[in-house]
């Protein structure tokens, strides 16, 4: 399939909002070995993303499934996740999170066109519209990126945008795959996509903790306090289905961890906190902080090495090595390793992709 425009697409567009249409789509996808997937969801006011629409394109069909209709979607998800079906997505992480929450599982194989483009020298965060323009010469508008996807009926222009988000993914992947094969990087790509399928999705406390700004400047006891607060906040946000920032903003979490108040009075005395916070959550926060003294939390945080200063000479050498290899390969240095990855390596807490796999080999780290 080599689509140049929307008008050249021979596939009939289906908006699926009733049981009969859903059954037809499930039947049409029964033998599809590869499908393009995209989702539209909202989560501004909730912890869990609300799946509004799932777009699916196969070689001979294209559909937008209304996920707000009162339907049994289990047969659809069972069909989509059956081995050896492959999903083609662009910037897959959020789509995987929202679908896994509804489907309860993920596909056995994944193709992320953003990952493919990065391995071919494109910017690591290249958007779908820019990818399609560069690879296929297709120009899509961006005017519906802020559509209210809970609205029913959806405007015709918004539906057209939704169909276009998957319409060109399969031909785009065909172009990218050929280039990966030509450069001998298809194995690299498959390794990266396989890793995406096993990484924690959504509210993994350790991942959330490690990405909070200012965490590395805390002492180990303070980091343990912050980790305990992250766990409490996740539980509270899940139970109330509210965004974690509505419970406790990152900057306030770090401030509480820095002070480590012993009681609600000390908590209330932290000037940066919202006035009503201590009154509402004080007892729960103090209880969470008390648990931060456990050996299990201390051991888990210590393995991250966030309180250890990197070896500056070693970090400089690694950054130079990464840049030199990236330049030789024609890719961005962060595709090989981010500064965060390199700091972790020098503090004795390397990320797995730098200890084994193609990056370790390319950077010569598997021999060190």
Residues 44-97 have pLDDT tens digits of 999 999 999 999 999 999 999 999 999 999 999 999 999 989 999 999 999 999
Q: DSSP states of 129-164 as a string?
A: HHHHHHHT------TTTT--TT-SSPPHHHHHHHHH
Structural Rg of the chain based on CA atoms = 23
In this structure, of 52-56, 146-150, 230-234, the range with the lowest mean pLDDT score is 146-150
- Residue 19 within any structural domain of the chain: yes
Q: 276 and 358: one domain?
A: no
- CA 165 to centroid of chain Cα atoms: 18
User: In this predicted structure, what is the pLDDT of residue 366?
Assistant: 72
Whether 275 and 226 map to the same domain: the answer is yes
Q: Taking residues 129-133, what's their average pLDDT?
A: 95
- 282 and 335 co-located in one domain: no
Work out the pLDDT band at 2, boundaries 50, 70, 90. low
For residue 319, being part of any structural domain is answered with: yes
Question: Residue 210 is part of a domain; what is its CATH number?
Answer: 1.10.150.80
Q: Are residues 194 and 135 in the same domain?
A: yes
Domain co-membership, 32 together with 67: yes
Comparing CA positions, the residue from 127, 109, 99 lying closest to residue 196 is 109
Task: Tell me, yes or no, whether 1 lies in a domain.
Answer: no
**368 domain residue, yes or no:** no
Q: How many domains does the chain have?
A: 3
Residues 156 and 272 placed together within one structural domain of the fold: no
Going along the chain, which residue ranges are E strands?
13-16, 34-42, 50-57, 62-66, 86-89, 109-112
pLDDT of residue 353 exceeding 70: yes
Q: 94: Cβ–Cβ under 8 A, 6 or more apart, which residues?
A: 39, 41, 49
Considering only 56-60, 61-65, 127-131, 342-346, which range has the smallest mean pLDDT? Answer: 342-346
Q: Is residue 284 part of a domain?
A: yes
Residue where a domain stops, chosen among 156, 181, 198: 198
CATH number of the domain encompassing residue 166: 3.30.420.10
Tens-place pLDDT, residues 192-226 = 999 999 988 877 888 899 889 999 899 999 999 99
Instruction: State whether 259 and 323 are in the same domain.
Output: no
When pLDDT is cut at 50, 70 and 90, the band that residue 367 belongs to is low
Q: Indicate if 248 and 188 belong to the same structural domain.
A: no
Q: Name the pTM for this structure.
A: 0.91
One domain for residues 151 and 80: yes
What is the phi/psi pair of residue 249, to 5°? -70, 150
Of 147, 174, 198, the one marking the end of a domain is 198
Residues 192 and 284 in one domain: no
Last-in-domain residue among 128, 163, 198: 198
Decide if 367 is inside a domain. no
Q: Are 44 and 188 in a shared domain?
A: yes
The answer to whether 102 touches 143, Cβ cutoff 8 Å, is no
DSSP label of 12: P
Are 108 and 178 a contacting pair, CB within 8 Å? Answer: no
Domain ranges, residue 229: 205-302
- pLDDT value for 181: 98
Whether the per-residue pLDDT at 143 is higher than 70: the answer is no
Q: Are residues 120 and 227 in the same domain?
A: no
């Amino acid at each position: 399939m080599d689509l140049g425009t929307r008008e050249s697409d021979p596939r009939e567009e289906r908006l699926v909002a009733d049981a009969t249409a859903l059954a037809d789509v499930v039947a049409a996808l029964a033998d599809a070995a590869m499908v393009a997937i995209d989702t539209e969801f909202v989560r501004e006011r909730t912890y869990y993303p609300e799946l509004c629409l799932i777009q699916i394109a196969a070689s001979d069909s294209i559909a937008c499934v209304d996920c707000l209709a009162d339907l049994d979607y289990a047969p659809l998800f069972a069909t989509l996740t059956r081995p050896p079906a492959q999903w083609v997505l662009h910037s897959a992480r959020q789509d995987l999170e929202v679908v896994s929450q509804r489907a309860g599982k993920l596909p056995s194989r994944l193709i992320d066109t953003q990952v493919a483009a990065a391995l071919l020298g494109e910017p690591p965060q290249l958007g779908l519209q820019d990818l399609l323009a560069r690879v296929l010469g297709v120009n899509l508008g961006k005017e519906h990126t802020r559509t209210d996807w809970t609205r029913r009926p959806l405007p015709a222009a918004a539906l057209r945008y939704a169909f276009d988000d998957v319409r060109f993914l399969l031909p785009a992947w065909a172009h990218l795959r050929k280039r990966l094969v030509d450069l001998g990087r298809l194995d690299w790509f498959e390794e990266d996509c396989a890793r995406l399928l096993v990484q924690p999705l959504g509210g993994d406390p350790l991942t959330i903790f490690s990405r909070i700004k200012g965490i590395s400047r805390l002492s180990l006891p303070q980091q343990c306090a912050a980790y305990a607060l992250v766990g409490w906040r996740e539980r509270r946000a899940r139970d109330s289905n509210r965004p974690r920032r509505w419970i406790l903003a990152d900057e306030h979490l770090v401030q509480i961890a820095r002070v480590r108040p012993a009681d609600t009075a000390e908590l209330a005395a932290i000037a940066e906190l919202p006035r009503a916070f201590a009154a509402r959550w004080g007892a729960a926060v103090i209880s969470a902080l008390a648990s931060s003294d456990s050996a299990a939390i201390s051991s888990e945080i210590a393995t991250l090495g966030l309180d250890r200063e990197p070896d500056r000479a070693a970090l400089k050498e690694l950054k130079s090595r990464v840049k030199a290899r990236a330049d030789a390969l024609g890719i961005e240095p962060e595709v090989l390793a981010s500064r965060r990855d390199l700091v972790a390596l020098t503090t004795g807490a390397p990320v797995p992709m730098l200890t084994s796999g193609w990056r370790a080999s390319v950077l010569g780290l598997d021999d060190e």
